[in-house]
Structure 1
Amino acid sequence: MASLPNPPADTQTRADALREALATRVVVADGAMGTMLQAQDPTMEDFQQLEGCNEVLNVTRPDIVRSVHEAYFSVGVDCVETNTFGTNYAALAEYDIAERNFELSEAGARIAREVADEFTANTGQQRWVLGSMGPGTKLPTLGHITYGQIRDAYQINAEGLITGGADALLVETTQDLLQTKSSIIGARRAMEALGVTVPLICSVTVETTGTMLLGSEIGAALTALEPLGIDMIGLNCATGPAEMSEHLRYLARNARIPLS
C-alpha cells in the first residue's frame, strides 16, 4: 500500500480541544447538507453526469459546498459535517466510482477545514470539522457485502477525512450493527495508520417501529457499540424529537459516554 499523506500538523491539538469541549459543555453542530446543496440547483455537468452524487461537488463545485459551511458557521455553530455522507464503497459503487473514495473524502474535509479555519481566525471562536461517514446502501448482516470489504473501505474513507483536516469522525445514520462496527473499526485503523487519535462519534437510526432497521433496540446498540471505545453516542434521522425521546432517555440513564 502506498504511504498516506500526512494529516494537518495541528490535527491532534484541535482534536484534543474538541474532546475537552465535548466533556465540559454543549457543542452545537450544523443541520442538513443535501437540501442545502440541492437548493443551489447544481447542473448535471456539476455532478459529472452522476445525478444525485452530492460528494462529486467537493471536486467540481467546492464553492457550493463552501457556501453551506459558511451559512452554518455564520449563525454560530461550533462544528460542521463534511459533505461526505456518501463517500463509502457501497454508495460510490452504485455510480461506478468506488475508486474515488479517498479523493472525495479528502476533498470534502479540506473544504470544511478551510472554512472552519477562516471563521476561527475571524471570530476567535474555535470551529471544528466532523468527518461524516454514512451507512451506504449495503448491509453486511443481510449479506449484501462482506464485513471485511466494507471495513477496509471505511478505513479509506476515514483516512481521506483525517488527511483533509477532520477533527473528529462521525459514524452516522447507521441501521445495521455489523455495518456500524465495520465503520468504527475502519475509523480506528485509519487513526492508527495516520498516527493521530480524533474523537469518534457514533449515531444510530431508530425507526418509527422503535428499533433500528434490522430490529436492534437501543439497548442492544449501546451494549454493542460502547465497548468499541467510541467517544459519544446518539441518534439521528428517520424520526423527530418526540419519537426519539424514550431512546434518548435510555441512553441518558445507561450510557457511560456523552450523548449527541
Structure 2
Amino acid sequence: MASSPTPSADSRNRAAALREALATRVVVADGAMGTMLQAQDPTLADFENLEGCNEILNITRPDIVRSVHEAYFAVGVDCVETNTFGANTAALGEYDIPERVRELSEAGARIAREVADEYTASTGEQRWVLGSMGPGTKLPTLGHIPYATVRDGFQANAEGLIAGGADALIVETTQDLLQTKAAVLGARRALDALGSDLPLLCSLAFETTGTMLLGSEIGAALTALEPLGIDMIGLNCSTGPAEMSEHLRYLTRHSRIPLLCMPNAGLPVLTKDGAHFPLDAEGLADAQETFVQEYGLSLVGGCCGTTPEHLRQVVERVRGTVPAARDPRPEPGAASLYQSIPFRQDTAYLAIGERTNANGSKKFREAMLEGRWDDCVEMARDQIREGAHMLDLCVDYVGRDGVADMEELAGRFATASTLPIVLDSTELPVLRAGLEKLGGRAVLNSVNYEDGDGPESRFAKVT
C-alpha cells in the first residue's frame, strides 16, 4: 500500500474551500485540453516517440501544458483539470508504459497546482485543480480487462494526482458502469491510503441514443454510483448541451448530491479537415445559464471543442451565481447494467426470480454442472419475460468452484439480463467474484455473520 505524509494544512484548506464553494455558488471549470495541446504542434520527440500520448508532455513539455492552464485561468475559471485523462493502466498500456501511471499523474497535477497557486496569489481568489481520471480504452463488462486490474490502475492514477496537489478527483467520460465503479473505488482506496479527504466527482458520457455506450440508462447510473460515496454526479463529453437536458432533468429530480455538466461544443460535424464543433461561445453560455437556472448545477465547464473564449462567456454569465434550489425525491433501488428497479413497487411486492439458483432449481443446477451456460442465461431471460423485478443468482454447490461459476454466470448475466441481480451465497469470495462482474447495483443475500464480524468489516472484505 502506498504511503505519504499527512496532507498539509494548505491542501486540507483548499479542499474545504472547494466544498464550500460547490455548496453555495456556481463554480466554473475549464474546457478542452487535447486540442489546445495539439494546436502547439508538439514533435514526435516531445512525445518520446509515443505519438498522441498527451500525458508524456507533462514530463517533456510542461511549458505547453502550463500554457493551456494559464489560458483558462486568464478568462476567469475557478478550476482546471489536469492533463491526465489517459493516465491509466488501459490507455498507457496501449503505449506499453502502464508502469508510468503514477509518475505521469503526479507530474500533471504538479503543473496545474503551480499555475493555480500563481493565479490565487495574483487575484486573491482561490483557484483549484481537478485531477482528471479518464475512462481508459478497455471495458471490463465486455471482458476486455479484469475488474481488479482496472481498479488498481485507477488507484495509482489517483495516488499520483493527490501527491501532485489536486484539490479534487473527477472520474470522467465514463462509458461502462463497471469501469466507473472500479475508478471510483480505486480513487477511494487512494484517498484512504494517503489519508486524504478530497471531493470525488463522477461525470458520465451519454450517447445520442440516450444511454451510455453499453446501454445504461441514467437511472441505472445514479442507482449504482450514488451509494459509493461520490460528492457530485453529472455529464460530460459525447454530445452537446441540447442532448443532455433530459438526463439533467432526471438527476435534478432524484440525485441527493450536487450536479455538474461539461458538454461538448455541440455534436461534431465531420469535414475534410476533421471534426468541427458547431456550438459557439454564446451558445454554450446560454445553455449553461439555463441549466444552472432550471437544474441547479453547481459545477459547469466545457469538453471537446470548447475554448477559452467559450469559458470566458460562461464565466461572465454564471460564475458566482447561486444555482436554483432543488428538491430531489430519491428512489432507492437496485440496478442492472441497463436499468434501475425501485424497491417500492406499485404491485406492493418486489418479485425476485429464483429459478437461477443452483439449490432451488434442478434444471439450472444441471445446466451449470454441465457447463451449458447459454441454457442458464435462457432461464434468466424466461424470468424476465414472466415479470420478475430481479434475478437471484446462486451457484453454491458442494464440490464446485463457486468463484469460477460465479465469474462465468455473473459475467454473462451482466449483459444478457436487463434486471438487477441478487447475489446469493454464504461465501465471501463468491460474492466478490459476482460484484466484480456487475456494473449496476446488486443485492447481497445469504451472508452469515460470524461472532464479532459485523456488517461493516464483512462489506469491506467483499468490495
Whether TM-score is above 0.5 comes out as yes
Question: Which amino acid is 1:257 matched to?
Answer: I
Unaligned runs of 5+ in 1: none
Looking at structure 2, the residues matched to 2 and 195 of structure 1 have their Cα atoms a distance apart, in angstroms, of 11
CA RMSD, 1 decimal: 1.0
Instruction: For 1:47-126, list aligned pairs within 5 A.
Output: 47-126=47-126
Check whether the contact 1:201–1:231 (CA below 8 A) recurs between aligned residues.
yes
Question: Which amino acid is 1:198 matched to?
Answer: L
Distance 1:231 1:40, change over 3 A: same
Deviation at 1:10, TM superposition (A): 1.7
Instruction: For 1:149-228, list aligned pairs within 5 A.
Output: 149-228=149-228
Q: Deviations over 1:73-110 (max 9, x none)?
A: 00000000000000000000000000000000000000
Q: Deviations over 1:1-41 (max 9, x none)?
A: 56446655521111111011111110000000000000000
Looking at structure 2, the residues matched to 97 and 8 of structure 1 have their Cα atoms a distance apart, in angstroms, of 31
- 3-state SS of paired residue (2:171): strand
Q: Does 1:17 align with 2:17?
A: yes
Which residue does 1:26 correspond to in 2?
A: 26
- 3-state SS of paired residue (2:27): coil
Question: Which amino acid is 2:186 matched to?
Answer: G
Check whether the contact 2:106–2:160 (CA below 8 A) recurs between aligned residues.
yes
Looking at structure 1, the residues matched to 70 and 241 of structure 2 have their Cα atoms a distance apart, in angstroms, of 26
Check whether the contact 1:169–1:201 (CA below 8 A) recurs between aligned residues.
yes
Which residue does 1:127 correspond to in 2?
A: 127
The structure with the largest alpha-carbon Rg is: 2
Check whether the contact 2:57–2:65 (CA below 8 A) recurs between aligned residues.
yes
Question: Which amino acid is 1:156 matched to?
Answer: A
Check whether the contact 2:3–2:193 (CA below 8 A) recurs between aligned residues.
no
Looking at structure 2, the residues matched to 14 and 92 of structure 1 have their Cα atoms a distance apart, in angstroms, of 30
Check whether the contact 1:8–1:164 (CA below 8 A) recurs between aligned residues.
no
Distance 1:13 1:176, change over 3 A: same
Identity %: 81
The aligned length equals: 260
Question: Which amino acid is 2:178 matched to?
Answer: L
Looking at structure 1, the residues matched to 28 and 59 of structure 2 have their Cα atoms a distance apart, in angstroms, of 27
Looking at structure 2, the residues matched to 79 and 35 of structure 1 have their Cα atoms a distance apart, in angstroms, of 18
Distance 1:28 1:95, change over 3 A: same
Looking at structure 1, the residues matched to 6 and 170 of structure 2 have their Cα atoms a distance apart, in angstroms, of 20
Higher percent of residues as helix: 1
- 3-state SS of paired residue (2:156): helix
- 3-state SS of paired residue (2:158): helix
**Divergent runs of 4+, >2 A:** 1-9
Looking at structure 2, the residues matched to 148 and 100 of structure 1 have their Cα atoms a distance apart, in angstroms, of 18
Which residue does 2:235 correspond to in 1?
A: 235
Looking at structure 2, the residues matched to 45 and 98 of structure 1 have their Cα atoms a distance apart, in angstroms, of 20
Deviation at 1:43, TM superposition (A): 0.2
Question: Which amino acid is 1:182 matched to?
Answer: A
Deviation at 1:42, TM superposition (A): 0.3
Check whether the contact 2:2–2:193 (CA below 8 A) recurs between aligned residues.
no
Check whether the contact 2:3–2:194 (CA below 8 A) recurs between aligned residues.
no
Looking at structure 2, the residues matched to 8 and 55 of structure 1 have their Cα atoms a distance apart, in angstroms, of 26
Structure number with the bigger relative contact order (C-alpha 8 A, sep ≥ 6) is 1
Looking at structure 1, the residues matched to 192 and 2 of structure 2 have their Cα atoms a distance apart, in angstroms, of 15
Distance 1:6 1:111, change over 3 A: farther
Looking at structure 2, the residues matched to 233 and 43 of structure 1 have their Cα atoms a distance apart, in angstroms, of 37
- 3-state SS of paired residue (1:10): helix
Looking at structure 1, the residues matched to 248 and 55 of structure 2 have their Cα atoms a distance apart, in angstroms, of 30
Larger CA deviation: 16-25 vs 83-92? 16-25
Which residue does 2:255 correspond to in 1?
A: 255
Question: Which amino acid is 1:79 matched to?
Answer: C
Looking at structure 2, the residues matched to 5 and 41 of structure 1 have their Cα atoms a distance apart, in angstroms, of 38
Unaligned runs of 5+ in 2: 261-463
Check whether the contact 1:171–1:180 (CA below 8 A) recurs between aligned residues.
yes
Q: Deviations over 1:132-181 (max 9, x none)?
A: 00000011100001111110110000000000000000000000000000
Distance 1:40 1:8, change over 3 A: farther
- 3-state SS of paired residue (1:42): coil
Looking at structure 2, the residues matched to 150 and 9 of structure 1 have their Cα atoms a distance apart, in angstroms, of 31
- 3-state SS of paired residue (2:42): coil
Question: Which amino acid is 1:72 matched to?
Answer: Y
